[in-house]
Structure 1
Amino acid sequence: MSATRLLVLGVVRMHGTAHGYQVRRELLSWSADRWAKVQPGSIYHALKKMADEGLLEQVEVAGAAKGPDRVAYRLTEQGHADFNLRLQRMLAEVNEGGDGYEFTAAVTFLPTLSRERAISLLGHRLTQLEGQYANAASLLEHGSGWGQPEHVNALYELWRLHVAADIEWTKDLIERLRAGEYVMGDDPDRSFGDPPDTAAPSPA
């Protein structure tokens, strides 16, 4: 649910005001149903739930036909704060028991952050990944001596390889950011995911 919440908040933020069908169409055009397992029904549920929580507010759409797809939403001040906090936490923290959807959702809105903030958060993530790699390497070295079945080492090796790939990918993204790639939230041009209203709260 957390990945869906971030994506829904981000799309509404990006458009300024958006109704359920518009959010659904945007996310499906990104194939978010594949890489974040976002289902159409969960989008409408997230919109309603976050409106109940005060993160979104309903907006009257002049001349629009009645129905759930014509109820528009926009972020409240609390919604902007929740988006920024959720985005930064999902980028920085490695959820060992998670499915990875939260991180992929966060990367989608990476450009809404300042360049240095994005580098800092990814650096924090990198430190955690390096710790995971050391743990996996230790298990491979000593696993059998601790009474583990020998074939379980194959799983430790799979874990080590996954973490190694994640480390290299994260290092590459950090270097790209340092080299000035991508339009970020503190660059002169409008970055991906920025709200159309320049008066809206800026990313941390």
Structure 2
Amino acid sequence: MPARPQPLTPLGMAILELLHEKPIHPYEMTQLMRQRQVDRRVKLRPGSLYHTVDRLQAQGFIEIVDTQRQGRRPERTVYAMTEAGRDAFVDQTREMLAFPAPEYPQYPVALSAASELDRQDAIDQLKMRVIALRARIAADEVVAKEVRDRELPVMYWIDHLYDHHQRRSQLAWTEQLVADLESGRIPWPDAKKPPPHPQLSIVDNEDTDDDKAS
């Protein structure tokens, strides 16, 4: 039985997505990703991009179709996507859309560790996060207005809408967490006795069958 092909990395997916449009060279890939803010969801460094391009070529997913030189600038290699690359991109897109994959964001790790801080220190850091999230959300709205004004189809920037929704949800949840900590609704751990487990407003609680019956 043949081995399962190595999955495309997020950066590899981003490169193949660009090559759906036209053959381009790695420098232009970098510029387009930054212009379209792809670097907000994919770790983008020049070294890693060139490494990924080399890997995609070795896998047969892209191929060299031209070289360009402008003035005294170094020669630039232009790549295009192969049929194998298109098939791999489509297959992985389907899989990623259909099945949730494990992800490892930093915020839950920080929340788990927060009780080791002083209570007010933790609250202060959460308030700083609230400020940062509000700024990112405002920036999202500026970008959304620009693309709407350009009348770009929504599916071309649906990933930005998803990120925006995630940030808004995280902001609302974090604001409520700060309020619960400041009010004492969520008590800070006491070294002398285990903390109680109150009904938390940061958790959605549905009525139980017993509650409905009473």
Using structure 2 for the length normalisation, give the TM-score: 0.43
- Higher RCO structure (Cα 8 Å, ≥6 apart): 1
Using structure 1 for the length normalisation, give the TM-score: 0.45
By percentage of residues, which structure has more helix? 1
